[in-house]
């Protein structure tokens, strides 16, 4: 429900602020077989959109190779939506914007960079490549499925590369072409502190010809905290502290540290984890 509200806010943002195009770089759905309600909700929102949208399937919602479901269904009912459905490099032209958007729905070989194989179309001012894959951070991460590295990015003719796969908002290249992950519009689990954004991308602005501004649309915030309860006098004090942290928009991973408190009376499930039938807690226990 929260994600549906956020997607609705995203559509309103695009409509109200006069953007020219909406790009979704993969994993609009969490599955290649979204339930009927989820698909209907996405269709209803995209039909509200006043500008064209270009969608790239991701690794979670790669379309059926025969039917194209779910994206073929979505495209047939939303005439302003274009979708990359084939693994071969393809492009959509927007002459009124002087823009070409390039993409491919995965690749035959997951060891292959999704940035390879595109040919620049002449006669257009701006070129954007959409790619769904994992950026290889030099010296820190190893290549994964559909790897994207600096060498491939540097060789791109694009002005901007719209990346999908990572759940957090992140810039991965400051030189031309600019390359960003927008991340998910809502955090889905702990550790996704950088989720909750969409990217406003303005081509032709700034010293490199591209200006990117993260815009928060998410409701929820994911946070991890450690709380020392040792100075409290009993379960009622613990209850008061925890009640003060209640926030419907907060996904809180809480690590409790306490000595000499009896949890079993008020929080039996906590007592089970940290008390073990004993007034001394263990070191620190992670509670979600």
Whether 25 and 56 have beta carbons less than 8 Å apart is answered as yes
Q: What is the pLDDT of residues 68-85, one digit of tens each?
A: 778 888 888 999 999 998
Q: What is the pLDDT of residues 162-217, one digit of tens each?
A: 998 877 788 988 778 999 999 887 766 666 677 778 999 999 855 568 999 999 88
Residue 247 CB coordination number (10 Å):
11
Task: Return the higher-pLDDT residue of 119 and 254.
Answer: 119
With bands split at pLDDT 50, 70 and 90, how would you rate the model's confidence at 90? very high
User: Which tokens is 156 given?
Assistant: 């791109």
For the chain, list the domains and their CATH numbers: 2-216 (3.60.21.10), 221-287 (no CATH)
So what's the pLDDT on residue 287? 32
CA distance 71 to 232: 55
% of the chain surpassing 70 pLDDT: 75
CA distance 28 to 19: 20
Highest mean pLDDT (candidates 4-13, 45-54, 103-112, 200-209): 45-54
The model's pTM is: 0.77
In the predicted structure, residue 272 carries a pLDDT above the cut 90 = no
Rg over CA atoms, the chain: 23
In the predicted structure, residue 123 carries a pLDDT above the cut 90 = yes
So what's the pLDDT on residue 97? 96
In the predicted structure, residue 266 carries a pLDDT above the cut 60 = no
The whole-number average pLDDT for the span 28-48 is 88
Q: What is the pLDDT of residues 203-244, one digit of tens each?
A: 985 556 899 999 988 777 766 777 777 777 667 777 777 777
So what's the pLDDT on residue 32? 78
In the predicted structure, residue 259 carries a pLDDT above the cut 70 = no
Whether 137 and 99 have beta carbons less than 8 Å apart is answered as no
In the predicted structure, residue 107 carries a pLDDT above the cut 50 = yes
CA distance 152 to 100: 19
* CA neighbor of 192 nearest in space, from 209, 214, 167, 215: 167
Query: Beta strands 285-287 and 250-257: pairing type?
Result: antiparallel
So what's the pLDDT on residue 278? 37
With bands split at pLDDT 50, 70 and 90, how would you rate the model's confidence at 35? confident
Q: How many CA atoms lie within 13 A of 191 on its CB side?
A: 3
In the predicted structure, residue 276 carries a pLDDT above the cut 70 = no
Whether 70 and 29 have beta carbons less than 8 Å apart is answered as yes
Q: Order of strands across the sheet with 221-228? A: 221-228, 250-257, 285-287
Residue 139 CB coordination number (10 Å):
5
Which is it for the CA torsion 112, 105, 53, 36, positive or negative? negative
Across the chain, mean pLDDT equals: 80
So what's the pLDDT on residue 94? 98
Tracing tokens 């519009």 back to the chain, one arrives at 185
The whole-number average pLDDT for the span 39-59 is 92
% of the chain surpassing 90 pLDDT: 35
With bands split at pLDDT 50, 70 and 90, how would you rate the model's confidence at 3? confident
> Looking at the DSSP assignment, which residues form a beta bridge with residue 126?
99
């Amino acid at each position: 429900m929260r994600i549906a509200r956020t997607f609705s806010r995203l559509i309103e943002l695009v409509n109200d602020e006069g953007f020219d195009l909406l790009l979704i770089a993969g994993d609009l759905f969490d599955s290649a077989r979204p339930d009927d309600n989820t698909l209907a909700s996405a269709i209803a929102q995209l039909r509200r959109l006043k500008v064209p949208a270009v969608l790239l399937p991701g690794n979670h919602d790669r379309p059926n190779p025969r039917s194209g479901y779910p994206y073929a269904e979505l495209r047939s009912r939303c005439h302003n939506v274009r979708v990359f459905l084939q693994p071969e490099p393809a492009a959509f032209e927007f002459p009124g914007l002087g823009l070409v958007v390039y993409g491919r729905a995965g690749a035959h070989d997951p060891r292959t960079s999704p940035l390879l194989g595109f040919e620049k179309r002449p006669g257009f001012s701006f070129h954007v490549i959409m790619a769904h894959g994992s950026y290889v951070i030099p010296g820190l991460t190893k290549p994964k499925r559909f790897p994207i590295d600096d060498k491939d990015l540097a060789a791109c003719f694009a002005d901007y590369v719209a990346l999908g796969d990572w759940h957090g908002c992140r810039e991965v290249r400051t030189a031309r072409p600019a390359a960003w992950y927008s991340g998910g519009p809502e955090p889905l689990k702990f550790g996704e502190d950088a989720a909750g954004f969409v990217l406003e991308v303005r081509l032709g602005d700034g010293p490199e010809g591209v200006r990117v501004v993260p815009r928060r649309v998410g409701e929820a915030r994911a946070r991890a905290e450690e709380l020392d309860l040792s100075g409290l006098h009993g379960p009622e004090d613990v209850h008061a502290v925890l009640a003060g942290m209640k926030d419907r928009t907060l996904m809180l991973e809480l690590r409790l540290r306490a000595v000499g408190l009896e949890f079993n009376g008020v929080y039996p499930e906590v007592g089970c984890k940290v008390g073990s039938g004993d007034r001394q807690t263990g070191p620190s226990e992670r509670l979600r």
